[in-house]
Structure formats: structure tokens, C-alpha cells
Structure 1
């Protein structure tokens, strides 16, 4: 069972993980996150990073350690992970690694409702998605190969390898789906729906979106 955490933003877990290696000020944390491409897995910006650090400090997972000044820049507060924060980080990470979690990707939402689009349009849109996926797959594969060639240990590339595997699986799925949409017999009932007819049988709630009749402009 998923535990209710005091700070549940995934960015908080990344902050705790980086602070477990050494105390840092928020600017340095942001730099490290960018250098390690954590934005591929975690959505964040400058403001959200500072907000999460304040939340972690409030619940006692990190604490102010020092204040430093670099040249003419404003003073920066250095934060360190606490013993409670280290325990939270490890327990949270153990949960995420060991227990599958139900997630709700936007593409899954789109597929659950795709029947409201004409099949030809749906196929064209999925073709565009295939091109975008192929480009992203090539970008990540090249980055992983370059990093491995530069001596980066595989353990620091595991998240990219996972992302690559997910994208490749999605590309294969979408390719098969597009092929199916271009088979007239496969989309006959779907096409008839857009010609003003009803579905031949009303699907059950678990089978997808159901309609009585629909008027198209």
C-alpha cells in the first residue's frame, strides 16, 4: 500500500538523494539536476525547487547548515540532509523500486477517448506521434551511447535505459495500431458511427466510451 508522505513531490526525493552525497545550496542542486538530465524523469523549475527545499526543511528532512557567498553574488543557504530525511529517502525509494504504481499517462487518456475522432484523422495523428517518438528514441539512444562511451557507469544511465525501453514499446504499439486503422474491415463499425449510425452494440462501461447517437458538425 502506498504510504502517505509528508512531502510527496518526486522532486523532493531527488533533492534528498543529492543532499545525501553532500550539503548544497539550491543553486548548486539545480545545476546538478540539470547536468544529470533529471528533467527527463522529474518536472521542475527554479521556483519549484526552492519551494520543495522549504517544504523539506519544514518537516525536518533537511536543515540549514551554512551560509556562503561566492564573489559578488548574494548569500546562499547551504542545506544538509538530516537523519530523518535520510530514512525517509531510503524508505520512499524502496517503495518506488519494489511496488508497481498505477499511473495515468496522458496518452492512455487519449486512447480511451480516441473513438470520438474519425478513424482516418486518428491514423494521421498517430503517424505524427510515431515520427516524434522515433526522433526522441534516437536522441536518447545517442545520449546513452555517448555517456557509456565516456565511462559513465550503467547505474547512472538506468533511468534513461528505462525511458528508452518505454518509448520503444510505445512506438511498436502505435505502429501496430496505425496498421490496424488502415484496414477497412477493422474500422468499418467506427467509420459507420461517423456516418450517423449508432454502434451495433453498446459497450459495457469497462469496454470504453459508449454512445447512443452523436451529431457531428
Structure 2
């Protein structure tokens, strides 16, 4: 039975090392260049500890150490067969199994009643504006990348775009229910905030 890895930085390291052996600084540079911190929660300060743990468990192995000029010695790592198998299994699981982890927006919605309806309308308007700007930026980036990058390497951005569009539609819908007065329980909510 495989060890369950929960640190997504480990996934990013394994996926990066599939390309070629490299040292941790090079891994981090390549992941940053590709915007991996937008795809998954990454704590860059733990990169060397993650590399150490992956090595300890046999998923990657040191292949050489190199020194350039007066810089400190850098160890180059490669992915092992066990690491490739773990990467494939883990990716399959992430794609196949729905995740119901809590999101900050969901947490805010769960206590929405502490704000007045007017404050919620304002906050949802701000969120809608932010989402619309993100959507436009992602659409523009995708259009630029589509000519140069195979689609399989852009599907996470397509998914992000679809989720943002769905969220924007939902936020606008809830905002409209409040502003048009069609949200069930709205009168009681207003009374609570007006009278305490």
C-alpha cells in the first residue's frame, strides 16, 4: 500500500522532475514560471524539506552535486520508478475523487446573516467585479497560450475559467434576489439588522 501524500508541493516536484533531473532551485524557478502557485497551495519555504522527504521515501534520488562559481553546492535529483508510480496514482486520485474541502467563500456564506442585506449586496458586487476581471484576464491568457501550448497543458486553466464563470453567475443571481426582494426570509433578515 502506498503512503498517502497530502503536500501538493510534493506533487509539483514529482511532476517537474518527470521532465529531467534538476536541483531544487531550478525546480522552484520552473514551477514559479509556470504559475503552479495558482494551481495548488504551495509553501515555497518548505521545498527543501519536501525534497528531503521524497528522497527518504524513495520517490526521488540524488544523482549528482554541482557547483557553479562561488555558489553553494547544489544537489541534482531525478524521479525514481516508485516516484513515477506515485505521481500517476496520486494524479489519478486527484482527478477521479471529488474534493469537498472547505473554501473561504463557503465559510463566509455560512455566516452571511451577520451582515445586513445591503452590506451583502455591496460585498457580492465587489466579488462579481473581481471575478469578471479574473475571467477576462484568464480568457486573454488562454487565447495567447492556445497557439503555442497543447491544450492538455491548459486544461487546469479551462477548468478554473469554467468554475469562475459558474461562481460569477451564482453571485449575480443571489445579489439580484436580494436587490429585487425575492430572496425568501429577506424581510426578517432586514428587520433583524434594523431592530437588532
User: Does the pair score TM above 0.5?
Assistant: yes
Choose between structure 1 and 2: higher helix proportion: 2
Deviation at 1:45, TM superposition (A): 4.4
**Alpha-carbon RMSD:** 1.7
User: Normalization by structure 2: what TM-score?
Assistant: 0.92
In the alignment, which residue of structure 2 is the partner of 1:191?
190
Q: Residue 10 of structure 2 is aligned with which of 9, 12, 32? A: 12
In the alignment, which residue of structure 1 is the partner of 2:38?
40
In the alignment, which residue of structure 2 is the partner of 1:76?
74
Number of residue equivalences: 194
Between the aligned partners of 2:30 and 2:44, the Cα distance in structure 1 is 13
In the alignment, which residue of structure 2 is the partner of 1:171?
168
Between the aligned partners of 2:137 and 2:100, the Cα distance in structure 1 is 28
Specify whether residues 4 and 170 from structure 1 end up closer, same or farther in structure 2 by C-alpha distance, changes over 3 A only: farther
Structure 1 position 153 matched with structure 2 position 153? no
Structure 1 position 180 matched with structure 2 position 191? no
Kindly indicate whether the alpha-carbon contact (under 8 Å) linking 2:2 and 2:86 is maintained by their aligned counterparts in 1.
Answer: no
In the alignment, which residue of structure 1 is the partner of 2:88?
90
Specify whether residues 185 and 135 from structure 1 end up closer, same or farther in structure 2 by C-alpha distance, changes over 3 A only: closer
In terms of Rg, which structure is larger?
1
Q: Which moved more, 1:72-81 or 1:37-46?
A: 37-46
Higher RCO (CA < 8 A, seq sep 6+) = 2
Gaps in structure 2 of 5+ consecutive residues: none
> CA deviation digits over 1:21-74, x for unaligned, max 9?
211101110111012111111222431222211121122211111111233322
Specify whether residues 166 and 185 from structure 1 end up closer, same or farther in structure 2 by C-alpha distance, changes over 3 A only: closer
Task: Show structure 1 runs of 4+ deviating over 6 A.
Answer: none
Kindly indicate whether the alpha-carbon contact (under 8 Å) linking 1:7 and 1:56 is maintained by their aligned counterparts in 2.
Answer: no
Between the aligned partners of 2:102 and 2:192, the Cα distance in structure 1 is 28
User: Normalization by structure 1: what TM-score?
Assistant: 0.83
In the alignment, which residue of structure 1 is the partner of 2:28?
30
